[in-house]
Amino acid sequence: MMLKFRKLNDDDNIKKISHWIYSTDVVFFNRLFTNKTNSLEAIKNLITSDYVNPYHRKFVTVAYDDKTGNIRAVALSFKGNEITVRDTFNAFKGTGFTNSRNLMLYEYASVIVTSYLKNNEYYLASLYVDKNYRNRTIGSKLVENVKQKARQSNSSRLLVDIEDDNSSMADFFKRFDFEKSKLSYHKLIGVQYGFSTMVYKIK
């Protein structure tokens, strides 16, 4: 299989990609949007929103089979200066599904946009490989593609968050020279998340 990469197209299966993104952080999405049904619709709305936000279509990279055109994996990544608190807040509020008060939702937007991710840092927000196509180096190639984007954007570091109890994923990113950071911001929407940040320093 010849794997290629591109941006999300209007005729791509947004519903399927929303499912994939949802599966990467079920607890967070359910906390914010109450349940799976609402979360999936909200993610779809975030992807297609007029407001640029961390889940916006412009940040979605798809890995696809060059022969069939079928999407095998997806990544969400962006540079800190590409998103703002105002637009992120408006995008989440505009989904119509959030059960958080405006103040709490604004706190989330502020943390992810200003308190945590610096303007010159690049962030890998989500990475998902189709279950039927795992262990074929697709995820590895997608990570390398994101690293290349980070370099081309003149970012200083590439960040990714890993669940504390997911040692296999931490080991996966260590293969790409990511190191665990002491930084921790994962207390959002009233929940202490068991996540750690891993950092790749761009030379």
Q: Which of 147, 150, 146, 129 is nearest to 138 (CA)?
A: 129
Residue 85 parent element (H or E): helix 85-93
Structural domains of the chain sorted by starting position, each given as residue range(s) with its CATH number in brackets = 3-201 (3.40.630.30)
Whether pLDDT at 70 is above 70? yes
The mean pLDDT value for 88-102 works out to 83
Show Cβ contacts of residue 26 under 8 Å, excluding neighbours closer than 6 positions: 36
Question: Which tens digits make up the pLDDT trace of 150-185?
Answer: 999 999 999 998 887 788 999 999 999 999 887 655
The mean pLDDT value for 98-120 works out to 70
Strand partners, 159: 123, 199
pTM assigned to the model = 0.89
Query: How far apart, in whole angstroms, are the C-alpha atoms of residue 198 and residue 25?
Result: 17
- Using CB atoms within 10 Å of the CB of residue 3, give its burial: 0 to 12 exposed, 13 to 18 middle, 19+ buried: middle
Structure confidence at residue 190 (pLDDT) = 47
| pLDDT band with cut points at 50, 70 and 90 for residue 189 | very low
Structure confidence at residue 29 (pLDDT) = 87
Backbone φ and ψ of 150, nearest 5°: -65, -40
Structure confidence at residue 114 (pLDDT) = 55
Structure confidence at residue 28 (pLDDT) = 80
Question: Which tens digits make up the pLDDT trace of 120-146?
Answer: 999 999 999 999 999 999 999 999 999
Residue 23 parent element (H or E): helix 14-23
Question: Which tens digits make up the pLDDT trace of 46-68?
Answer: 999 999 999 999 999 999 999 99
Query: How far apart, in whole angstroms, are the C-alpha atoms of residue 124 and residue 54?
Result: 10
Question: Which tens digits make up the pLDDT trace of 10-32?
Answer: 899 999 999 999 999 898 888 88
Residue 120, Cβ neighbours under 10 Å: how many? 14
Q: Which of 164, 71, 162 is nearest to 123 (CA)?
A: 162
Q: Are 158 and 199 in contact (CB under 8 A)?
A: yes
Structure confidence at residue 195 (pLDDT) = 74
**E strands within the chain?**
3-7, 60-65, 71-79, 121-129, 157-163, 179-180, 187-188, 191-192, 195-201
Structure confidence at residue 68 (pLDDT) = 92
